[in-house]
Amino acid sequence: MGILSLLLWTPLVGGVVLALLPVQTPWKIRLLSNSFAIITLLWALVSLAYFETQNPLMQLTEHWVINAELGNTYALGVDGFSLPMVLLGSLLMCIAMQASAYISHGLKTYFASMLFLEFGMLGVFLTQDWIMFYIFWELTLIPLFFLIDRWGGARRHAASLNFVLYTIGGSLFMMASLFALGEFVPHMGGSLMTTFAEAAKMMPPEEQLLVLIGFLIGFGVKLPIFPIHGWLPLVHVEAPFPVSVLLSGILLKMGAYGLLRVVSMLPQAVLSVQAVLVGLALFSMLYGGLLAWRQSDLKAMVAYSSISHMGVVLLGILTFNVTGMMGAILQMTAHGLTAGALFLLLGWLYKRTGTLNIQDYSSLAPVIPRFAALMTIALLAAMGLPGTLNFVAELHAIIGGFERWGAWMVFFSFSILVSAAYAIRTLGLLFTGPVKPRMQGLKDLSRSEFLMGSVLMLLIVVLGFMPSKLMDLSEVTIKHSVAALATATAASAQGE
């Protein structure tokens, strides 16, 4: 069994062990679940140690035939697109597990569901077979539904149903696109991503466009992009905050990762609707930022800001150049760390105060200084302050956009200003003015809570000052992908 199989199957084994063992003692349940999450993170770090940054192809690959007649394979691999997401997801799961200390009922079910969720999420990033990709994509829905429906807020039932219906609806379009591609795969050709990429070249342009639209709907729901984002605010507000950390920090990135694979597979179709997609990306950035600015509920503010930040990812992918696509990958990581940190901090604040209405707070800095320090860094990172990874990501995305579209990037600048506006507004309302009587006795973050938040803040700042290590993971893969896109589009132009 290879490294990636050990990485993938560790959380599933942990979830099964947790579900089957007759363990009822809370501390034993927590110890087991946290141990399996930590072991998974260690396997992710081992895969990083063996990863060759100068190799643009899939690495640490494993390939076993599951069904020779149907051509299904168990194929795993990582490259510069997937490895950063695997590392990010494994880290956030460890933090979400630790942050779940407040969960007091249904512990076995809760922690087993978290481990099953990690299994599905890792499968999406590791598999190199489209059928297996779809299965892992759908597997994440089951634990997420129960995590939100059982441990969420007052409107948890509506939120969980909303999330599942939106995602399944999008998945149906994705499945239709996969079936359409399968019609052009030679008999017994299998369902590997490389096989489907070759099949896509044989499709007529009109069918390529239809297949792309199916993928865009499926991945766009999870990304999310306007106008198929309606599930996001309600789910984030009602989900348990450790689940919100994962949902915003890594699960939204599944949609962006899927789009990266589809763009490489259907470049001509993407180019044919590029202007429309760029318009949606720019509109999502402004729309999400403006709605975040208007929110009084702090979790809703972060949820809407995610629409804006993921619009940056979509824009970077569409540039078809190295700088812009590097900005997309960096933004996926930066947003995962920043949004994860914000939901983590807001969850702890809610547990202490019972409210997330921003009007209920003022001058928290002298009352809970540890919280104030971490929250300030997180909000400054969200607005793209120089010295944070978010700044590096947005700078690459905007430069790549200027290389591609020139003056249209002025709308990008407007979205950055809006992000700065809601971040500064939040800082002002939380940490200035007189201390309200009900907030005077608040308990500051514990040492363990401060440590968890500090890990994310440290990564945001350190990678902001020294982004080369993160960029090295993806640079060669991005250059290889951009070169392949240029070749494909040139060949298409000559064919016409």
Is residue 436 domain-resident?
Answer: yes
Q: Which of 118-132, 148-162, 430-444 has the highest mean pLDDT?
A: 118-132
Residue 379 structural domain: 273-489
Q: Where are the beta strands (DSSP E) in 347-391?
A: none
Q: What is the pLDDT of residues 304-337, one digit of tens each?
A: 898 888 899 999 999 989 999 999 999 999 999 9
Residue 404 has pLDDT above 60, yes or no: yes
Domain count, the chain: 1
Q: What is the pLDDT of residues 276-306, one digit of tens each?
A: 998 889 888 888 888 888 888 899 899 889 8
User: What average pLDDT does the segment 70-82 reach?
Assistant: 86
Residue 490 has pLDDT above 70, yes or no: no
355 burial (CB, 10 Å; 0-12 / 13-18 / 19+) is middle
Is residue 4 domain-resident?
Answer: no
Are 85 and 483 a contacting pair, CB within 8 Å?
no
User: What average pLDDT does the segment 236-241 reach?
Assistant: 88
User: What's the confidence (pLDDT) of residue 27?
Assistant: 86
User: What's the confidence (pLDDT) of residue 468?
Assistant: 92
Identify the weakest region by mean pLDDT among 52-56, 108-112, 488-492: 488-492
Q: What is the pLDDT of residues 92-118, one digit of tens each?
A: 999 999 999 888 888 999 999 999 999
Tell me the residue length of the chain: 496
Is residue 26 domain-resident?
Answer: no
User: What's the confidence (pLDDT) of residue 187?
Assistant: 63
DSSP state of 76: E
User: What's the confidence (pLDDT) of residue 415?
Assistant: 82
Q: What is the pLDDT of residues 341-375, one digit of tens each?
A: 999 999 999 998 888 899 888 888 889 999 999 99
Residue whose C-alpha is closest to residue 158's, from 245, 238, 222, 240: 238
CA distance linking residue 186 with residue 232, whole number of Å: 39
User: What's the confidence (pLDDT) of residue 63?
Assistant: 87
User: What's the confidence (pLDDT) of residue 69?
Assistant: 64
Is residue 236 domain-resident?
Answer: no
Beta partners for 67?
72
User: What's the confidence (pLDDT) of residue 494?
Assistant: 57
pLDDT band at 486 (very low <50, low <70, confident <90, very high): confident
pLDDT band at 182 (very low <50, low <70, confident <90, very high): confident
Is residue 250 domain-resident?
Answer: no
User: What's the confidence (pLDDT) of residue 60?
Assistant: 93
Is residue 330 domain-resident?
Answer: yes
Is residue 291 domain-resident?
Answer: yes
Are 60 and 50 a contacting pair, CB within 8 Å?
yes
Residue 445 has pLDDT above 60, yes or no: yes
Dihedral-angle region of residue 320 (phi above 0 means left; psi in -120 to 50 means alpha; beta otherwise): left
User: What average pLDDT does the segment 479-489 reach?
Assistant: 83
Is residue 141 domain-resident?
Answer: no
**Residue type at position 40:** T
- The percentage of residues in the chain with a pLDDT greater than 90, rounded to a whole number, is 51
pLDDT band at 71 (very low <50, low <70, confident <90, very high): low
Please state whether the predicted TM-score (pTM) of the whole model is above 0.95: no
